[in-house]
Copies of this chain bind each other. A is one copy, B any other.
Amino acid sequence: MRLTILGCYSATPRTLNNTTSQVLEINNHMFLIDCGEGTQVQLRKHKIKFNRIKHIFISHLHGDHFFGLVGLISTFRLLTREADLHIYGPKGIKEAITLQLKLSDSWTNYKLCFHELTSKKSELIFHDDKVEVYTIPLDHRIYTNGYLFKEKEGERKLNIEAAHEANIDVAYYRKLKQGYDVENEDGVLIDNKAVTFPSETPKSYAFCSDTKYKEDIIPLIKNVNVLYHESTFLEKHAHYAEKTKHATAKQAANIARQAEVKTLILGHYSTRYDDLSLFKNEASEVFNNVKLAKDGKVFNF
């Protein structure tokens, strides 16, 4: 899995700070998460291939997470995209986009598939044979979802030498990978574990922005490899967080600790702070593996 931060600041884009957008590469998918104004330029800057993006997940319809979407859709059209584009986001997203396409008389020449969300409970919204995506209902000023990206349990790995030595016909290798015991050419039942290795542990990524401190999400994100949790404010401005339904670095760390995640990435910083190390210091008092999002930063995990 690879996460590229295109923007991780709140409120408004600035010369050097971009609003929320990130790209998650997971099992050949390239998922775009949120799309603040200027995201298409950030994608170009970081050499993300536009046509690899087939799924876009929008957390909520505040501008700093959403105002770049219509431009990206239009640019895909100008680049004569043909592949379907799936967009997941709150109800209303379809109307906002299609109205603007209508006014500009610029319908896409590719299929635009909206998946509008309204549920306040976690739902499975995408899956294929390798990946599942669930919503994480958050608590912000307007209807908002985080997203949980999970690899499915993979196939076991064949121990080719052992399988060969056990005299198993290659026709059964597929079954072995699927975890079955099989008979060898002498009619003896071979224990699967004797001729296979365990599958790789599936990885998972939870994106939680924007939200107030919300312990309800803990069961949903339990044990994820990486949690991106918004930390718009430092604890000294907890009253602003309370008022605007955002979280502090300490609150994000508290969620990470209780959910027993492996890594916490902080982001969605208010532009009032010049020194982001304060966020890391504050969160590190509560949780021991804290990283800071930064525009352009790539996390491999």
Q: Please give the residue numbers on chain A whose beta carbons come within 8 Å of chain B beta carbons, in ascending order.
A: 11-15, 37-38, 40-41, 44-45, 61-63, 66-68, 70-71, 74-75, 78, 90, 92-93, 95-96, 99-100, 103-106, 141-142
User: Oligomeric state, in number of copies?
Assistant: 2
B104 touches A61 (CB 8 A): yes
Residues of chain B contacted by A105 (CB below 8 angstroms): 141-142
Known: A63-B106, A142-B104, A142-B105. A37 touches B78 (CB 8 A): no
Taking A37-B38, A37-B68, A142-B104 as contacts, is the C-beta distance between A15 and B45 under 8 angstroms?
A: yes
Given contacts A37-B68, A90-B103, 10 further A-B contacts (CB under 8 A): A11-B75, A13-B38, A37-B71, A61-B103, A62-B104, A62-B106, A63-B104, A67-B74, A67-B100, A104-B142
CB-based contact B100/A96 at 8 Å: yes
| A14 and B71 contacting across the interface, CB-CB below 8 Å | no
User: Cα distance A96–B38 when bound, in Å?
Assistant: 19
Q: Is the CB of B15 within 8 A of A41?
A: yes
A11 to B41, CA, bound (A): 13
Whether the Cβ atoms of A63 and B71 lie closer than 8 Å is yes
B-chain residues with CB within 8 Å of residue A78 when the two chains form the complex:
11-12
- Among B44, B62, B90, contact of A15 (Cβ-Cβ < 8 Å): B44
A104-B62, A106-B63 known; A71+B40 contact, CB < 8 A: no
> In the complex, what residues of B have CB within 8 A of residue A37's CB?
37-38, 40, 67-68, 71
Query: Distance (Å) between the CB of A45 and the closest chain B CB?
Result: 5
CA distance A14 to B103 in the complex (A): 23
Which of B61, B70, B92 interacts with A63 by CB under 8 Å?
B70
**Chain B residues with CB below 8 A from A14, complex form:** 41, 44
A-B contact pairs, 23 of them (CB 8 A): A11-B75, A12-B74, A12-B75, A13-B38, A13-B40, A15-B41, A37-B38, A37-B40, A37-B68, A38-B38, A62-B104, A63-B71, A63-B100, A63-B104, A67-B70, A67-B74, A67-B100, A90-B103, A93-B103, A95-B103, A96-B99, A104-B142, A105-B142
